[in-house]
Amino acid sequence: MNEQQHEQAHQEMIAAEVALADGRYDAAEHHLEAAHRLGASQKQVEKVASSIRRSRQRGEKQGLWRARIGFAVGLCCYLLLAIQPPLSWRIPLWIFLAFLLVPAVIGLVIGRMYRAAQPAPVRFGEGMRAGGWAMAIYTGLSLMVFWGRMGRDAEGEEFVAGALTTVVFALLAGIVAGFVGKLAAKRPAKNESP
């Protein structure tokens, strides 16, 4: 290996470690492969590859907890909304609370828990999943309570209409939570380590 290849391999190793520190695991693996091709030592490559694997696994576990926390916050908000609202509430206020405010809170919780280095589609997906499931549970339970108050079970067309309503409402709330989660990611401080 000549001096130029050695320097390029060293630069690729540095780039891999920087990408790893930023949480960009695919980029870190790409730089690591380039360093290996250029002749970086096997010991160094294995050490960084092991760090990438551990960090990726840790990030997946943390992502699961972020989504669960966002979902729990959303479910609590929807449960508060499900408590008998004041008679002065009108449909526009309920729409604002159920489809904008609560999903925005869910997205904000999830988005603020992520670093800006996490890809936007991941933040969107986590927010959408948490917001959608929280709204689906809220809508499904609300419909069951409504049918129970009427003294009968949903049958045939009512069940299909209720299921369709639940899916549509969940998608709408999920999209709002996803967009807010995507936009609300906390930017790490320059001297802050991941």
Render each residue's pLDDT in the chain as its tens digit; 194 residues: 577 777 888 888 888 888 877 777 788 888 888 888 878 778 888 888 888 888 777 766 666 677 788 899 999 999 888 886 666 678 888 889 899 999 999 999 888 877 655 677 878 888 899 999 999 999 988 888 877 777 776 677 788 888 899 999 999 999 999 999 888 865 544 444 44
Q: Let me know if residue 7 belongs to a domain.
A: no
Q: What is the pLDDT of residue 187?
A: 54
Q: Let me know if residue 84 belongs to a domain.
A: yes
Do 2 and 38 touch, CB atoms closer than 8 A?
no
Q: Let me know if residue 6 belongs to a domain.
A: no
Spatial separation of the C-alpha atoms in residues 67 and 54, rounded to whole Å = 20
Q: Let me know if residue 118 belongs to a domain.
A: yes
Neighbours of 68 (CB within 10 A): 11
Q: Let me know if residue 134 belongs to a domain.
A: yes
- Tens of pLDDT along 22-45? 777 788 888 888 888 878 778 888
Average pLDDT, the chain: 81
Do 124 and 84 touch, CB atoms closer than 8 A?
no
Q: What is the pLDDT of residue 138?
A: 93
Do 102 and 77 touch, CB atoms closer than 8 A?
yes
Q: Let me know if residue 19 belongs to a domain.
A: no
Residue in this structure with the two tokens 């689906």, named with its chain if needed: 136
Spatial separation of the C-alpha atoms in residues 36 and 25, rounded to whole Å = 16
Question: Which one, of 128, 98, 88, lies nearest residue 110 by Cα?
Answer: 128
> What's the domain range around 83?
60-183
Spatial separation of the C-alpha atoms in residues 18 and 12, rounded to whole Å = 10
Total tally of structural domains belonging to the chain? 1
Contacts of 170 (CB under 8 A, 6+ apart): 132, 133, 135, 136, 139
Contacts of 181 (CB under 8 A, 6+ apart): 70, 106, 107, 108, 110, 111, 114, 123, 124, 126, 127, 128
Q: What is the pLDDT of residue 134?
A: 95
Q: What is the pLDDT of residue 61?
A: 65
Q: Let me know if residue 46 belongs to a domain.
A: no
Q: Let me know if residue 99 belongs to a domain.
A: yes
